[in-house]
């Protein structure tokens, strides 16, 4: 009887040892994680390629905060670099997918890559928005005070814009720099400056947007060519007459350095202004 009990104990111990020796096969779990990473890597590469392709054909590429930002460029290149490392790692370890350590490494890589893969997709959204809809910029100078101050940030819309009188627009000057001005004269209009007063087609225009916080207009609109008190501008078809709100310091259509602004020079209409605390 004692011998039988001893034999049973030996058998149980042997079974326990055999159970401990049997290892879990992690192949299926590792392959599922690998599949997720490969799909994310494809999205990353496609998004990155589209970001750079759109920048080559975009009229508004100068306003693309993605490609103009060293931080974003660093993040996208780092994401591509990590993607390549993951591809190399998964290829070199394919014979060990059943190993628990390899599974855990794959799982850790997926957790990290979940965050990194968001970057190119986010950048693509911003870039496509800049190409087709709305672009960001900021005010540099005092020519549009009291409505837009130096250092303020703006968003301007450029999808199928029909420009109207008093629209605040972004334009490209002959010098190659971008200016913010207000449309006063439309194509075919006659703009007259007489003793500091602005007339369009013989009628005094409403310039309440020039009022300061006290409700008064302190800036007169003088001519920049010939007689400073009187001048006439016949706006050609397909072009616009623009002025800065701060008339005493603004360089605009009154000056030969800008003159009339063609439709091709207009880049969009300002729709929003804000203070960007990240840039400040």
Has residue 66 been placed in a domain? yes
Residues 157 and 95 in one domain: no
Residues 98 and 59 in one domain: yes
Q: How many domains does the chain have?
A: 2
- Dist CA 244 CA 143 (whole Å): 5
Residues belonging to the active site: 143, 181
* Cα-Cα end-to-end distance for the chain: 88
Residues 171 and 128 in one domain: no
What is the pTM (predicted TM-score) of this model? 0.79
| Two structure tokens written together for 43 | 């999205």
Task: For 73-108, write each residue's pLDDT tens digit.
Answer: 898 899 999 999 999 999 999 999 999 999 999 999
Q: Which pLDDT score is estimated for 10?
A: 47
Give the closest residue to 241 by CA, choosing from 18, 250, 3, 93. Answer: 250
Q: Which pLDDT score is estimated for 80?
A: 92
3-state secondary structure of 52: helix
Q: Strand pairing partners for 273? A: 154
- Dist CA 130 CA 136 (whole Å): 8
Residues 41 and 100 in one domain: yes
- Dist CA 160 CA 182 (whole Å): 18
- The mean of the pLDDT values for the chain is 87
Has residue 195 been placed in a domain? yes
Residues 175 and 112 in one domain: no
Residue 211: which pLDDT band, with cuts at 50, 70 and 90? confident
Q: What is the DSSP string of 146-193?
A: TTS-TT-EEEEE-SS----TT-EEEEE-TTS-EEEEEEEE-TT-EEEE
Helix (H) or strand (E) holding 83: helix 70-92
> How is residue 90 annotated by DSSP?
H
Q: Strand pairing partners for 231? A: 193
């Amino acid at each position: 009887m004692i011998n039988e009990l001893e034999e049973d104990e030996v058998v149980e111990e042997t079974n326990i040892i055999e159970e401990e020796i049997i290892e879990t096969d992690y192949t299926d779990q590792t392959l599922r994680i690998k599949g997720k990473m490969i799909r994310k890597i494809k999205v990353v590469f496609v998004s990155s390629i589209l970001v750079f392709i759109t920048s080559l054909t975009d009229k508004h590429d100068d306003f693309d905060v993605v490609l103009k930002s060293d931080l974003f460029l660093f993040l996208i290149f780092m994401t591509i670099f990590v993607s390549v490392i993951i591809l190399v790692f998964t290829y070199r370890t394919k014979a060990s997918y059943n190993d628990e350590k390899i599974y855990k490494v794959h799982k850790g890589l997926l957790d990290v890559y979940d965050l990194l893969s968001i970057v190119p997709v986010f950048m693509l959204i911003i870039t496509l928005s800049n190409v087709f809809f709305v672009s960001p910029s900021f005010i540099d100078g005092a020519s549009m005070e009291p409505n837009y101050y130096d250092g303020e940030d703006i968003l301007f819309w450029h999808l199928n814009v029909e420009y109207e009188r008093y629209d605040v627009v972004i334009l490209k000057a002959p010098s190659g720099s971008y200016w913010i001005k207000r449309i006063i004269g439309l194509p075919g209009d006659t703009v007259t400056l007489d003793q500091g007063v602005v007339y369009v087609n013989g009628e005094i225009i409403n310039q309440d947007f020039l009022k300061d916080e006290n409700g008064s207009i302190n800036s007169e609109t003088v001519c920049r060519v010939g007689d400073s008190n009187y001048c006439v501008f016949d706006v050609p078809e397909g072009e616009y007459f623009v002025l800065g709100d701060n008339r005493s310091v603004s360089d605009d259509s009154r000056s030969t350095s800008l003159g009339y602004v063609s439709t091709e020079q207009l880049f969009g209409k300002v729709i929003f202004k804000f203070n960007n605390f990240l840039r400040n």
